Amino acid sequence: MSIAVLRTVDGWWVQTREGAVRVDTAATTTADLLADRSAVDAAAAGGETVPVASLELVSPVTAPCRVVAQMTNYVSHVKDSGMNPETVPLTFFRKSSGSISGPSADIVKPAHVTLLDYEVEIGLVVGKTLPVGSTIDEDTVADHIAALVITNDVSARDVQLPKTQFYEAKSYPTFTPVGPVLLVLEDGDLARFEQLRLMLRVNGEIRQNSTVADMIYRPTEALRTLTGFQRVDPGDLILTGTPGGTALKAPPKPIEIIGALLPPAVKWKTFFKRQASNPAYLKDGDVVELTIATDDAMLDLGMQRTTVRYA
């Protein structure tokens, strides 16, 4: 059975039915914690508890680390983006680990950003060093993915689109809230990956609601492709894409065709004028809640609850 690990500034905890049990470990990084599995197991077996609500939780994924993300990886999101799910390639981009923040920290919009969007995503936390050329298949992938986390791939669309600059648009401080739970996996848990349901609410309104059954490129293929050109290490974080329901959606095809004929400056000015009237983008004071769990709650990554604040 999976183990729900929490992190505070002064240590690590295991969440149990009775409360949170401190992990007796010297680990200061996620990689160190994953390597000290006996300490995690001991805390999961029981001990003195404190109320989970009394803990001030921070991201259970520590920085610095590699943060790699998959783009357009759910059928519903691909369709929202105006692309064909049958032909969309497996594509990665990077985020700065300086964008990682805690599960209840504010999402801070930089003053120059006007179109702030959300993306609920499952984060895979790597448990072993995988050099370039590693052999990964369905039988071995569970050996390399140590844990799962909730992530929000916050995005400045007015930076991302005209500059095709994913790294900048998604790497501002607080643009990758992580947690609350680091769900440490045990044998057989990853077999239920497809049953995980991702849900995101803004001020209580459901914006995204889908299961992994909608995912195009699963962890085995993603990790195999990624390690074909890049080494990954324990504690590295891989975001696996978001389902449909983000604020950004592709314009209707006729408008898209006309836009392609316009000079870039005119095209983007027209596009952003239309987007400015879209009420789905995040506003100052919005409360964003994310959950990821199987419907029977046997795998449960907790609830992330953040508030948007304009700088």
- CA 221-228-184 angle, to 5 degrees, is 55
Shared domain check, 234 and 86: yes
pLDDT value for 253: 55
pLDDT value for 289: 99
pLDDT value for 298: 96
pLDDT value for 257: 45
At residue 163, the 3 state secondary structure works out as helix
pLDDT value for 254: 45
pLDDT value for 164: 85
pLDDT value for 263: 64
Shared domain check, 225 and 159: yes
pLDDT value for 265: 67
> Do the beta carbons of residue 65 and residue 33 sit within 8 Å?
no
Determine the length of the chain: 311
pLDDT value for 261: 47
Shared domain check, 165 and 127: yes
Q: Which residues form the domain of 159?
A: 62-310
| Regions of the chain where pLDDT drops below 50 | 254, 257-258, 261
pTM of the entire predicted model: 0.95
Shared domain check, 151 and 132: yes
Sheet holding 196-202, edge to edge: 107-109, 300-310, 287-294, 196-202, 205-211
Q: Where are the alpha helices (DSSP H) in 127-210?
A: 157-163, 166-169
Shared domain check, 103 and 170: yes
